[in-house]
């Protein structure tokens, strides 16, 4: 009986991880599209920086840093909010469970440092990947096109 319950819970955890990863992925697309819009808006600034001698790698770094800052702020906020929510749930037990199915009547909370670390790291890695395409588009921009058609 217990074996079935735990394997069901394990499956649920895996499914939850996939759902959360998809949410993070959507957020990463958001970061990528924000950065792509920013690259388009900053075409002239990128062109003038290149005309002043900025290397392609420096331009790439600007947009990677920008994306990583957005990612770091989002991840920190998410971790903080998640932590607060878990503590509140632990104290006030506001999610009820059907006791005849689960043997417990409220949703239990167990915060694992490793889980938090893994989720935060995964979020940062996905953010980093999301910056690569816009940053490389920015660094490949031809300054002449932007300046000529100003």
Partner 1 sequence: MVNSLNRDEKSLSDRFLSVRDLFKSYENSGATIDILKGVNIDLNAGETLAIVGASGIGKSTLLHILGALDRPDSGTYFFKDDDIFLLNQTSLAKFRNETVGFVFQFHYLLPEFSALENTMMPALIKGLSKNKAREIAEGMLVRVGLKDRLNFRASKLSGGEQQRIALARSLVLKPAILLADEPTGNLDKRNSEYIHDLLMELNAELNMTLIVVTHNMELASYMSRSMTIVDCQLIEIKG
Chain contacts with partner 1 (rule: CB under 8 A)? 44-45, 47-56, 58, 143-144, 147-148, 150
Query: Whole-number minimum distance, CB 24 to partner 1, in Å?
Result: 30
Closer CB to partner 1, 78 or 143, in the complex = 143
Bridge partners of 96?
A: 106
Closer CB to partner 1, 20 or 55, in the complex = 55
Bridge partners of 135?
A: none
Closer CB to partner 1, 15 or 55, in the complex = 55
Q: Which burial class, exposed, middle or buried, applies to 84 when counting CB atoms under 10 A from its CB (0-12, 13-18, 19+)?
A: exposed
d(CA 103, CA 93): 15
Bridge partners of 106?
A: 96
């Amino acid at each position: 009986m217990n074996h079935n319950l735990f394997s069901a819970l394990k499956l649920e955890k895996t499914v939850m991880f996939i759902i959360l990863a998809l949410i993070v992925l959507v957020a990463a697309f958001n970061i990528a599209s924000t950065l792509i819009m920013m690259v388009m808006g900053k075409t002239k600034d990128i062109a003038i920086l290149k005309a002043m001698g900025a290397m392609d790698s420096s331009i790439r770094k600007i947009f990677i840093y920008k994306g990583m800052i957005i990612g770091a702020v989002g991840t920190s906020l998410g971790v903080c909010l998640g932590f607060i929510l878990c503590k509140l749930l632990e104290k006030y037990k506001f999610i009820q469970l059907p006791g005849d199915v689960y043997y417990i009547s409220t949703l239990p909370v167990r915060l694992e440092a490793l889980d938090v670390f893994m989720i935060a790291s995964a979020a940062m890695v996905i953010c980093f990947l999301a910056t690569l395409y816009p940053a490389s588009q920015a660094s490949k921009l031809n300054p002449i096109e932007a300046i000529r058609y100003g």
